[in-house]
Amino acid sequence: MTDLLSAAVVALQAKLDGGAFDGSAKFVIAGEGALMVDAAGVRASDEAAEVTLTADAGTFRDLLGGRLSPASAFLSGRLKIDGDMGAAMRLGSVLA
């Protein structure tokens, strides 16, 4: 697991604040790998999910750091979303 994925697991778990995500989402980070967020928590994994969000490493860092909103990333084309937009929106509220 890359350093970025390891740090992202910790950061996303903190954003969930001990709660669970209602659904399943996969972040695909170009050149790094994939993360799953679901009722079991956050982990490095490349499983099937309701929604897949794809971004480069810089965009993902900006999302986690609060420097970029998920909506802005999507509208600018920096974040690609494939699958259930409802799940993506629920996850976006966790990242905000």
- Burial (Cβ within 10 Å: 0-12, 13-18, ≥19) of residue 43: middle
> How many separate domains does the chain show?
1
Specify the CATH number for the domain of residue 8.
3.30.1050.10
pLDDT tens, position by position, 26-85:
999 999 999 999 988 899 999 999 999 999 999 999 998 889 999 999 999 999 999 999
Give per-residue burial for 59-70: e unless 16+ CB within 10 Å, then b.
bbbbbbeeebeb
Q: Could you tell me the pTM of the whole model?
A: 0.90
**Residue numbers of the domain that contains 50:** 3-95
In this structure, how many other beta carbons lie within 10 angstroms of the beta carbon of residue 6?
11
Distance CA 63, CA 71 (A): 10
Confidence of residue 22 (pLDDT cuts 50, 70, 90): confident
